[in-house]
Structure 1
Amino acid sequence: MSKRIFVTATNTNIGKTYTSTLLIGALSRMGLRVGVYKPIETGVTALPPDGNTLFQTAVSYNPALAALSVKDIVTLQWPLPAAPFVANGGKEIDFTLFDKALAKIEALCDVVIIEGAGGLMVPIDEKSMMIDLPRYFQATTLLVTHCALGCINDTLLSIKALEDARLPFIWGLNCRPQETTFDITSLPYFQHRFDPVFRIDHDIDTIAKVLLDTITH
């Protein structure tokens, strides 16, 4: 089994795929062969947009992955842009499908980035939520959070969920251009409460190293 990193976020449209592409580059610069996997993507009418971005980025660093296709990278795809439970009509999902897909990817890489869908409490089926995947995959989690007003609440709720589940994780802030008040309204609290405070765009190489150290230990 390769090293596994599960990328999640405080909600949808926070920057999981953006973060994952940066992480592909950071891990590749460390000399690792990086693979990607997105078990579930909803809102897919043709090519899965997030899965395809992950796949094309990973292939540019690890050409061996070109032996696969985007269908190998995204196991379950549904057209309705909703939680998997809703998009799949509440049907049970066989997680062994994920194991078979991961085995093909891991044969070509040293570390695999597994990207979730939505946030941690997104329902997958009657029995499982997204937060159950990092334990299932035995992965270390990278939580991505936003920098808009409300990010303190959203971040702390997701951190508490990961801590309560006793899952290994680190977290980082994906600050977007429109989130202009962060340094005044939210950063002081984060700096008071946490050390260090990672920013995805500035600290991705450090984040990659910490993630690998977390997996190792």
Structure 2
Amino acid sequence: MNNITAHAGIDAIVLEVSDPEAATAFYDAAFGLGDRLRVRATEAPTTGFRGFVLSLVVAQPSTVDNLVGTAVATGATIVKPAKKSFWGYGGVLRAPDGTLWKIATSAKKDTAPANRDIDSFVLLLGVDNVKHTKQFYVDRGLAVAKSFGSKYVEFDTPSESIKLALYGRRAAAKDAGVAPEGTGSHRIAVAGSLGVFADPDGFEWESTTA
């Protein structure tokens, strides 16, 4: 393992959008993620599922409802309404720029006053071959925190960084409530300290300072 990158994480997600000013206004109002989420202009064509979902993990259902409510009031549309399930409570939104967001908690009941606190920010990549892509990132120095065969992988990253997880593309799309088909640009870049490269599914990584 490369000791330089063993504890590297994702510092920021860069969304490529057609209207950066509008996207910035939306995300500041909806989620307040600060420098962890950036936008830049693009006209790269894209259709259908872009192959990723951004997930905000929170502590309780009222926080899910709070974030969902603000996002919808600011222009997001609901893909999957927030509801209880065997794993907890959550829903999926589509931002005005087309990005899919999952807001979820493992809790089924509130245990504290309502708030907007976000516990984890997760980049979930829907990939063609989970085992192959897992090995690609392991070779670049990431340690595996959780792995369920060819179905799901979560990497061990610093607590303050954005988490990285892998899911099969069809499974990721199903979980988000959309069809798996899609073409064109992913319209996302990942900024961190792993280096500058494209992974097996074409997701672009760049230096945090880029």
TM-score of the superposition, structure 2-length normalised?
0.31
Instruction: Give 1 or 2: higher strand fraction.
Output: 2
TM-score of the superposition, structure 1-length normalised?
0.30
Instruction: Give 1 or 2: higher helix fraction.
Output: 1
